[in-house]
Every structure is written in C-alpha cells, then in structure tokens.
Structure 1
Amino acid sequence: MEEQKQKYYFNIESGEVLDRPAEPEGHFTLIATGEEIKDLREYLDENYNADWATYGNSHLHPFKDPDREHAEYDHALKEIYAMVYRFGDAEAKNHVRNMGILTEEELHR
C-alpha cells in the first residue's frame, strides 16, 4: 500500500520540517510522504555536516584547499532545493525556479 502524502512546512534557515508552521511566514509548504521527508532530512544532515567540516577546516587548516567540503555542501544544498521544488506547492516551486540555482534538468528529476 502506497504511503499517503501530507502537508509539511519546511524552514530552510533552521532546517525544521514540521506538520504545522511555527511562523506564519518564512517556510516552504511541501506535500510529501514520510519517506520523502526522511530523504529530505538526510540531505539536511549532509548539508549541516559539510557546513561544519568547511568551517572546522578553515580554522584548523587555513591553507588547505576547501573545494571538497564546498562541493559536498553545494551538492546537498542543491538536492534540498530540488526536493523543495519536487514536493513544494506552486509558491515553493516558483521561488526555487526564480532563484536560478538549478538547471531545468535538475528541476525535473
């Protein structure tokens, strides 16, 4: 039996995914299954870890090339926005499209 989709509210700044909006504004409305939200949370964790790795390495190894950490962070962030586009309502889709960070191919995976 296929899992039922439900409405979630995602705040990209805090990384919170809730079943009720914490604030009247500042979130994306997503229609997704629990499994799809679990996948989103995995990318949020990946993004968080890559962000800390970049920060830590910049302080501990200031002359080390940070490209790998930046690439991991960028990849996770693009995946997050692709999921916002995929599961988002019309307003979320429009916002992500207007940001211009994803190609047409990335938008329609």
Structure 2
Amino acid sequence: MNNERKTYYIDLGSGEISQSKSASTWNYQIEANNEEVTKLREYFDAMQSANWQGFMRAHVPYVQYHYDRENDANDHLLKEVYQMIHDLGDEDAKQHIEAMGVLNPDHNIEP
C-alpha cells in the first residue's frame, strides 16, 4: 500500500478529483494517499447513484423530502465527503467547511 500523500483538487459539484490545479474548477485542496482518494471516489460514485435514484423517485410527488430514503442516503454521503475533505484539506478547506456547519450533528443538509 502506498501511503505517500499527494495534492488533489476536488470539485464537489461534479465529483471530480484531479491532481492538476488548472485542469478545471475546484472547491477544495486536499493532501491524500491512494487509499484515501479511492475512498473519496467511492463516496462520489455512491452519491451519483443516490442522485439517480432520487431523480427516479421525483416522479412520485407525494413523498416529502424528509421522508425520502434516497435523499437521506445522499445527505449521509455528502456529510461523509465533507468530513473527509475537512480531515484531509488545507486550512482554507477546513475553515470553509466549519463555517458551513455541515459537520454539526444537528445540521441537516437540504436543498
């Protein structure tokens, strides 16, 4: 296992993880090893799947957001991503995530 840390740039909206600072827009800079980047990619893949399931569920209009398991799963995954970015991120990433309050146990992520 390679524990060497490298710099990665994260675009949370697209789920993109890049080693190139100028390849595309990015929100957060992190230092991570291969295992951590793989875990972050798995979270993004799972979020994409949960988003697709949420899209399909959107055709059932009588289910409210806070009773929707797909949205609950996506919210949980998003909090996991924010926690991971906070743990691995530079000082700007840490401060931004702390200011958002998304890691507060009482904070609910809603649209």
When the two structures are superposed, what TM-score results if normalisation uses the length of structure 2? 0.83
Quote how far apart the aligned CAs of 1:62 are. Answer: 2.7
Q: Which amino acid aligns with 1:54?
A: G
The one-character-per-residue Cα deviations of 1:5-47 (angstroms, maximum 9, x if unpaired) are 1111111111110011224x64211000011000001111111
Which ranges of structure 2 fall in alignment gaps of 5 or more residues? 106-111
Structure 1 residues 15 and 2, CA, compared in 2 at 3 Å: closer, same or farther? Answer: closer
Q: Share of identical aligned residues, percent?
A: 36
In the alignment of these two chains, the number of paired residues is: 102
Specify which structure has the higher proportion of helix.
1
Q: Which residue does the alignment assign to 1:62?
A: 61
When the two structures are superposed, what TM-score results if normalisation uses the length of structure 1? 0.84
Name segments (4+ residues, structure 1) moved above 3 Å.
none
RMSD, aligned α-carbons: 1.8
